[in-house]
Amino acid sequence: MHPLLPSRPAGPFEERTLSSEAHTGLSKRPPTLHHTPRDPLPLPSQRSGTPGLARFNTAPAEVAETILLSCCHSHRWAQRMVAHRPYPDLDTLLAASDEAGYDLSPADVSEALADESSVGLHPGAPQAAHTALSAAHAAYESRFGHAFVISLAGCRPDEYLDRVLAGIRARLAHEPDEERAVSAEELRGLARSRLAQAVTSQVASSPSEAV
Domain membership of residue 19 (yes or no) is: no
The total domain count for the chain is 1
Q: Locate all alpha helices (DSSP H) within 16-159, ordered by sequence.
A: 52-58, 61-69, 75-83, 90-102, 106-114, 127-144
Does 209 score more than 60 pLDDT? no
Tell me the mean pLDDT in the region 89-109. 95
> Is the pLDDT higher at 191 or at 205?
191
As a whole number of angstroms, the distance between CA 42 and CA 23 comes to: 26
Q: What is the mean pLDDT of residues 183-199?
A: 94
What is the span of the domain harbouring residue 85?
52-200
pLDDT score of 211 more than 50: no
Q: How many CA atoms lie within 13 A of 16 on its CB side?
A: 0
Among 72-81, 95-104, 125-134, the least confident range? 125-134
Please tell me the distance from the alpha carbon of residue 39 to that of residue 209, in angstroms, as a whole number.
9
- Of the pLDDT bands very low, low, confident and very high (cuts 50, 70, 90), residue 200 is confident
Please give the distance of CA 69 from its chain centroid, rounded to a whole number: 9
Q: Is the pLDDT of residue 18 over 70?
A: no
For residue 187, give Cα distances in angstroms to 50, 86, 192, 196: 29, 23, 8, 14
The string of pLDDT tens digits covering residues 116-174 is: 998 778 888 899 999 999 999 999 999 999 999 999 888 888 888 999 999 999 999 99
Task: Give how far Cα 119 sits from Cα of 18, 95, 130, Å.
Answer: 9, 26, 11
Q: 29: pLDDT confidence band, cut at 50, 70 and 90?
A: low
Question: Mapping DSSP to helix (H, G, I), strand (E, B) and coil, where does residue 199 land?
Answer: helix
Q: How far apart are CA 104 and CA 108, in angstroms?
A: 5
In a domain, 152, yes or no: yes
Does some domain include residue 27?
no
Instruction: Please provide the average confidence, as pLDDT, over all residues in the chain.
Output: 77
The answer as to whether 10 is a domain residue is no
Q: What was the pLDDT predicted at 28? A: 53
Structural domain contains residue 155: yes
* Entry pTM: 0.72
Per-residue pLDDT band for 201 (boundaries 50, 70, 90) equals confident
Who's near 73: CB < 8 A, 6+ residues apart?
29, 111, 112, 114, 115, 116
CATH of the domain at 153: 1.10.3330.10
Among 36-40, 52-56, 113-117, 140-144, the minimum mean pLDDT is found in: 36-40
The pLDDT > 70 percentage for the chain reads 71
CA 130, CA 134: separation in Å to the nearest integer?
A: 6
